[in-house]
């Protein structure tokens, strides 16, 4: 019985063929969902104004303002909104209102078959790491790790520029490390995935745990002590999560102590793996928070300090 259970978990996490969304164009409608925590209504309206200024229409269900303690409504309400956005042909892309906590609770309620048949842009970060990785593993959905509606309200110009550029232009993306620190030198190419370290760690042992084999792994976090980062990496390493990964991209570790201590932890955990590990990317819970595609191939080069993409996020 145990062997069958293990096989079922592994099969559930096996990636499918990547599916790129069509590019939304100005005039299209973008749907807004709140799959995690409640949000600040004033910031929400200000973030919506930025999206509208780019030329997009927006739509959100009235249930988006629901609140159940630390969640933006019941699990059923939040999951129904997510499924409905993917099913609605008038919605050309989906942006999350905020992270926080709650996406994990939706996984058993998501209609993965429907989403696989209706791939469209999904944008989010932090707790939305759950959705970005699960939808890639189950549906092959290529997505965007980027700012959300609430954070766009007070986002810096680099954050807004990076977001609008990837949405509105066809240029292949190349992101320099703002403060490059080579934890382990090298150059590698692979499919970029990952996101918030704590959230990824919470997927370990579930049927939704992603398979990072052949991937470049982006990691970031906020408010975690160095020993907790070490503990999460150790747990994930013992669980086999990092077997056959090709490289690690380190974003912001905001409020996680001395960055040098954090980088030393990554060195200690991955020095023997002979994979490139480059820190200092402006991605995560700080400003700027640059947008990066998940699910397409990228190259990490510690000599140039670059994370570069050879293809577009969009079909």
DSSP letters for 220-258:
EEES--HHHHHHHHHHHHHTTTTTT--EEEEEEEETSS-
Place of tokens 């704590």: 198
Q: Which of 103, 126, 134, 291 is catalytic?
A: 126
Structure tokens at 28: 């299209």
- Of the candidates 290, 295, 51, the one whose C-alpha atom is nearest the C-alpha of residue 163 is 290
Q: How far apart are CA 67 and CA 272, in angstroms?
A: 47
CB-based burial, 2-33: b 16+ in 10 Å, e otherwise? eeeeeeeeeeebebeebbbbebbeeebebbbb
Q: How far apart are CA 254 and CA 257, in angstroms?
A: 8
HSE (side-chain half, CA atoms, 13 Å) at 251: 29
CB-based burial, 57-71: b 16+ in 10 Å, e otherwise? bbebbebbebeeeeb
Query: CA distances (Å), 293 to each of 66, 260, 305, 309, in order?
Result: 30, 27, 18, 9
Whether 285 is a known active-site residue: answer: yes
Q: Which of 177, 184, 220, 291 is catalytic?
A: 220
Quickly list H helices, 88-193: 112-117, 129-139, 149-152, 157-168
Whether 126 is a known active-site residue: answer: yes
Whether 220 is a known active-site residue: answer: yes
CB of 279 closer than 8 Å to CB of 183: yes
Active site members: 126, 220, 285
């Amino acid at each position: 019985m145990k062997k069958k259970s293990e096989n079922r978990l592994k099969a559930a996490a096996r990636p499918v063929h990547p599916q790129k969304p069509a590019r939304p164009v100005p005039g299209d409608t973008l749907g807004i969902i709140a799959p995690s925590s409640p949000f600040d209504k004033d910031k929400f309206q200000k973030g919506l104004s930025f999206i509208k200024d780019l030329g997009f229409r927006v739509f959100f269900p009235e249930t988006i303002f629901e609140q159940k303690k630390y969640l933006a409504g019941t699990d059923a309400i939040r999951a129904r909104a997510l499924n409905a956005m993917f099913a609605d042909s008038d919605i050309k892309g989906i942006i999350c209102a905020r992270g926080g906590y709650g996406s994990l609770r939706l996984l058993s309620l998501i209609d993965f078959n429907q989403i696989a048949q209706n791939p469209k842009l999904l944008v989010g970060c932090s707790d939305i790491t759950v959705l970005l990785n699960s939808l890639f593993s189950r549906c092959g959905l290529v997505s965007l790790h980027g700012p959300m509606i609430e954070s766009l309200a007070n986002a810096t110009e680099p954050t807004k520029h990076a977001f609008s550029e990837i949405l509105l232009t066809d240029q292949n993306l190349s992101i320099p490390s703002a403060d490059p620190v080579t934890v382990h030198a090298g150059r590698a190419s692979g499919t970029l995935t990952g996101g918030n370290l704590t959230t990824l760690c919470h997927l370990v042992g579930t049927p939704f745990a992603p398979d990072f084999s052949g991937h470049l792994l982006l990691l970031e976090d906020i408010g975690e002590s160095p020993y907790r980062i070490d503990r999460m990496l150790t747990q994930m390493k013992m669980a086999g999560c990092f077997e056959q990964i090709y490289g690690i991209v380190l974003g912001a570790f905001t409020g996680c102590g001395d960055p040098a201590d954090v980088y030393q932890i990554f060195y200690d955990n991955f020095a023997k793996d002979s994979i490139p590990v480059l820190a200092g990317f402006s991605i995560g819970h700080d400003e700027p928070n640059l947008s990066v595609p998940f699910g397409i191939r990228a190259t990490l080069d510690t000599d140039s300090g670059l994370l570069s993409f050879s293809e577009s996020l969009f079909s």
